[in-house]
A and B are shown apart, each in its own frame.
Chain A
Amino acid sequence: MKFRTFLRSPLLHFFVLGGLIFGAYRVISDDPAPVAANRITLSTAEARRLADQFEGTWNRAPSPQEMTDLMQAWALEEAQVREAIALGLDRGDPVIRQRLSLKMQFLSESGAALLAADEATLQAYLEANPDKFARPAQAAFEQVLLPAQAEAARTGIAALEDGADPADFAGPSLLPSRIPLTAAPTIDQMFGPGFHDALAGLSLSGWQGPIQGSYGRHLVRISERREGILPPLADIRARVEAEWRADRAAEARAKLNQALLDRFQVSLPGAGEVLAR
């Protein structure tokens, strides 16, 4: 039974067929068989590279046994890779193709990684892209979440206006009662979208509101507010440079892609032609 399963195995068919094709090729091919094709040699320098790699990972040199194992593993990998290439297993493999494509992308971007930008360039880039670098507005405030009933809300407002401590009557909540100077997006994350914008319309004097958030209506008392600003270049130079460089890399990638395509006469069938079949 087992042997019959083995005979039916696609892998067996693959190797037998492969062997036949190779045999036939050897017979009909005019090329002399390459002399060194069946020799796998690792130079000391290349073996040293395996040792270095090991050392880079483990922070120590491999032991003699480990070195032997590394080299044997390398030899097996080399034999497998050679045979796989000979069998054409690399062709049409999406992993290999994409990996090569990625390497070309790295190559195209590597120029940008080395670019140094002068102050004027970065300053201009900063000014041209305020959205990327602006620090959001901030606000510091206290808040009380009002009960749903209108009556209780009025009581709450009156009590606060009389100087009551919100802690005296506010219920338990994970919403912080006092929010230190906090960026607008964080405020919106805590109280719901648009909450900071609603705060921005209020003055800095006393309890105000109610304003609507995701959990209901809040009374708020704002103690400090800072407008969003575009920080000076000196404060965020590294970030501006990184963004500027990322833009350059994207440009370089697009250019190289085009230049690569230009090296070839690309002929593709029309989409309609393909889909019609």
Chain B
Amino acid sequence: MRLSACLGSTGIVIAACWSLPAMAQVTTDAGTLDPARIERFFNQPGYSPYAAHDYPMRPLWGEIHLHTSWSADAIAGGTRVGPDEALRYARGQEITSSTGQQVRLSRPYDFMMVADHSDSLGVMNGVLDGDPNLLADATLKGWHDGMVAGGDAAMAVVMDMITLQGLGKLPVAITDRDVQMDMWRRMTGIVEAHNDPGSFTALIGYEWTSNFGGGNNLHRNVVYRDGKAKADMVRPMTTYDSDIPNRLWDWMAMYEEATGGRILAVPHNGNLSNGLMFALETPDGIPIDQAWVEARARWEPLFEVTQSKGTSEQHPSLAPADEFADFEIWDKGNLNVAPKAPGMIEFEYAREALKRGLKLEAEFGTNPFKFGLLGSTDDHTGVSSAEENNFWGKFPASEPGPERATGNAFDMDGRTVKDWQLGASGLTAVWAQENTRESIWDAMKRKEVYGTTGPRIGVRFFGGWDFVAEDARRREPALVGYGKGVPMGGDLHPAPEGAAAPSFLVAAIRDPFSGNLDRIQIVKGWVDAAGGMQEHVHDVVWSGDREPGADGKVPAVGDTVDVENATWTNSIGAPELIAVWQDPDFDPALRAFYYARVIEIPTPRWTAYDAAYFEGAEFPAEAPMTVTERAYTSPIWYTPG
């Protein structure tokens, strides 16, 4: 732990490391370092480590799960912000929220996907688009011309329509449902107008919202790599078509075949699926088979691990040894707050599914749950908000105001979830080379993404066979990371001759707007020789000079939060942490995965900001006032050769 000691809690990481020799021969868990071997990656004569990187210097930030007034449940809840304004907000502009308050992001996003529910919506609008069949009608022709003229002329047309309708004299053609506008094309048009390759990416997408059997959350967000031209060629799948996920995959395959485009789907809220999200049978009761396993692996490379309706990484009851698992847990029931039966939770959380995936891979040869992790808000306000001091709730009723201290986020016949249980959570970082749809989508597809509970914590995570402690002292961790290993989302290369165990280079830097870092952990999951699913959370680097206890756990970092004033100080924790870690319990015969979890020091939760700001906000004593924000990387997998 020499390195963690050098990353002191004084605020400057480099301080104590300043005088470390750049190129010493060191003996590590992986054997004695051969300086010549390192030279392969560093400081080769004439080779500048800075020039022409083909890896990105920072991740792109955004989210893929925001609802606007175009979602029926959002508009019913009073949402007035449509997709155009939602995208303006994501780009950093100030907008007016549904409750009439001005709102702006602390910093713009790099990308955004509005994911309204795919139910179609018709408006008698064909005439306005100049459908020639309609323009044969003199009245409609006049309307069309008026619309094209715009301004007052267009206004007169709309009023004329209303008047004729009132008199029962509306031209028959206009009410013909064949000419109704396609909502989807309008959406893709708006998104297209905001897509600005190189500086802001507006992804096309939608949410397929299956509540199979009544509130059992099987929702998926469908993410397009393509632009409007291809996305318009096929109507989005709705749950009227089917509410079975494998039918969605059929639709996705058809889309790709018909258009030559690419799409992927991201499920979310396993915690509200009442045992269905990662079940071993389809919702309609058919045991999963080879085709199902392959389709899920193909179409669903990612899982949304955290959002406003709770975090689905791991349930504390499934990981009693993990003191950080009890985080923003929603386990009362499903979306209708229908209570859970015993045995459901095992099929709802990401870590459990990642482990089960290893077992299924042994059975089917394909791992259906080989997914990376990301976060998104699922806000229904048109305002994507994952910042504790800038949280705009899930629906207009939970926008800032003293009422949300005691209000209900969900109320199903008296079974309630309180507003204060909502999390200001869900953001995605993408290690994409360029800020374009193609580059971001490709990074999602290869799972080189990670999720956070809101802060923009920078995280690099690489796995290989010959990372050594010295690698954590390089000035550019990414250079050695890509040079010697695979990034998050990848598969470890086959073990080279003589390699004892995989090693990992992991580094994190705090959000310049948020709290210092407490520790980096590596979560390992595996299936033992008897077929039992196992996990172990390793503390690998932490701030200060804390010593692990007898149980191997590093003690808590402390807490500087002044709840009353909603402030904290970065006098504990470290701004940056970096380490090389080698698996001490590796068995080459067993399948395993590893992902990094980066924990911030405690900071004020949104509830504390509310309590400090609104005089009348009376939160109950059970409402948490601090939060330990975190980042979850996509895993790196090991498969026996």
The reply on A58 being an interface residue by CB < 8 A is yes
Q: What distance in Å separates the Cβ of B7 from its nearest Cβ neighbour in chain A?
A: 9
Q: Chain B residues with Cβ under 8 A from A58's Cβ?
A: 241, 251, 254
Q: Are A111 and B150 in contact (CB under 8 A)?
A: yes
B474 closest partner in A (C-beta): A172
The reply on B430 being an interface residue by CB < 8 A is no
Q: Are B193 and A185 in contact (CB under 8 A)?
A: no
Q: Are A248 and B150 in contact (CB under 8 A)?
A: yes
Q: Are B57 and A176 in contact (CB under 8 A)?
A: yes
A190 closest partner in B (C-beta): B58
Q: What distance in Å separates the Cβ of A4 from its nearest Cβ neighbour in chain B?
A: 20
The reply on B147 being an interface residue by CB < 8 A is yes
Out of B72, B147, B234, name the residue touching A57 (CB < 8 Å): B234
- 17 A-B residue pairs with CB within 8 Å: A49-B178, A57-B234, A59-B234, A94-B76, A107-B161, A111-B146, A115-B150, A145-B13, A167-B49, A171-B18, A172-B13, A173-B509, A177-B50, A215-B12, A215-B576, A255-B152, A255-B155
Q: Are B162 and A263 in contact (CB under 8 A)?
A: yes
The reply on B299 being an interface residue by CB < 8 A is no
Taken residue by residue from 148 to 188, chain B's Cβ proximity to chain A (1 for < 8 Å, 0 otherwise) reads as: 10111111011101100000000000000110010000100
* Known A174-B507, A176-B58, A256-B155: A246·B13 in contact at CB below 8 Å: no
The reply on B128 being an interface residue by CB < 8 A is yes
CA A177 to CA B238, docked complex, whole Å:
48
Q: Are B155 and A171 in contact (CB under 8 A)?
A: no
A246 closest partner in B (C-beta): B84
- Which residues of A approach B to under 8 Å, CB–CB? 46, 49, 52-53, 56-60, 94-95, 98-99, 101-103, 106-108, 110-116, 142, 145-149, 152, 156, 166-179, 183, 185-186, 188-193, 213-216, 238-239, 242, 246, 248, 252, 255-256, 259-260, 263
* Known A107-B123, A148-B11, A152-B18: A177·B476 in contact at CB below 8 Å: yes
The reply on B258 being an interface residue by CB < 8 A is yes
Q: Chain A residues with Cβ under 8 A from B358's Cβ?
A: none
Q: Are A145 and B50 in contact (CB under 8 A)?
A: no
Q: Are A57 and B237 in contact (CB under 8 A)?
A: yes
Q: Are B158 and A256 in contact (CB under 8 A)?
A: yes
Q: Chain A residues with Cβ under 8 A from B49's Cβ?
A: 167
Q: Are B11 and A216 in contact (CB under 8 A)?
A: yes
Q: Are A148 and B70 in contact (CB under 8 A)?
A: no
CA A103 to CA B122, docked complex, whole Å:
8
Q: Are B155 and A152 in contact (CB under 8 A)?
A: no
CA A213 to CA B575, docked complex, whole Å:
12
Q: What distance in Å separates the Cβ of B483 from its nearest Cβ neighbour in chain A?
A: 15
CA A225 to CA B193, docked complex, whole Å:
29
Q: Are B509 and A174 in contact (CB under 8 A)?
A: yes
Q: What distance in Å separates the Cβ of A180 from its nearest Cβ neighbour in chain B?
A: 8
Out of A99, A110, A145, A213, name the residue touching B147 (CB < 8 Å): A110
Q: Chain A residues with Cβ under 8 A from B155's Cβ?
A: 108, 111, 252, 255-256, 259
* Known A107-B158, A185-B92, A256-B158: A172·B475 in contact at CB below 8 Å: yes
Q: Chain B residues with Cβ under 8 A from A169's Cβ?
A: 18-19, 22
* Known A99-B75, A171-B14: A192·B512 in contact at CB below 8 Å: yes
CA A46 to CA B176, docked complex, whole Å:
9
Q: Are B150 and A114 in contact (CB under 8 A)?
A: yes
Q: Chain B residues with Cβ under 8 A from A110's Cβ?
A: 123, 125, 128, 147
Task: Output the residue of B10, B154, B237 with the most chain A CB within 10 A.
Answer: B154
Q: Chain B residues with Cβ under 8 A from A99's Cβ?
A: 72, 75, 121
CA A173 to CA B57, docked complex, whole Å:
11
CA A108 to CA B161, docked complex, whole Å:
11
Q: Are B14 and A170 in contact (CB under 8 A)?
A: yes
CA A259 to CA B575, docked complex, whole Å:
57
Q: Are B12 and A148 in contact (CB under 8 A)?
A: yes
What 9 pairs between A and B have smallest CB-CB spacing? A111-B154, A171-B14, A214-B512, A242-B193, A171-B17, A176-B57, A147-B15, A56-B235, A95-B76
CA A21 to CA B136, docked complex, whole Å:
48
Taken residue by residue from 450 to 464, chain B's Cβ proximity to chain A (1 for < 8 Å, 0 otherwise) reads as: 000000101010000
A215 closest partner in B (C-beta): B575
Further 8 A-B residue pairs, CB within 8 A, beyond A99-B75, A172-B13, A256-B158: A57-B234, A111-B153, A145-B14, A148-B15, A171-B475, A176-B58, A177-B475, A183-B199
Q: Are A152 and B15 in contact (CB under 8 A)?
A: yes
Task: Output the residue of B18, B92, B578 with the most chain A CB within 10 A.
Answer: B18
Q: Are A173 and B75 in contact (CB under 8 A)?
A: no
Out of A95, A173, A193, name the residue touching B72 (CB < 8 Å): A95
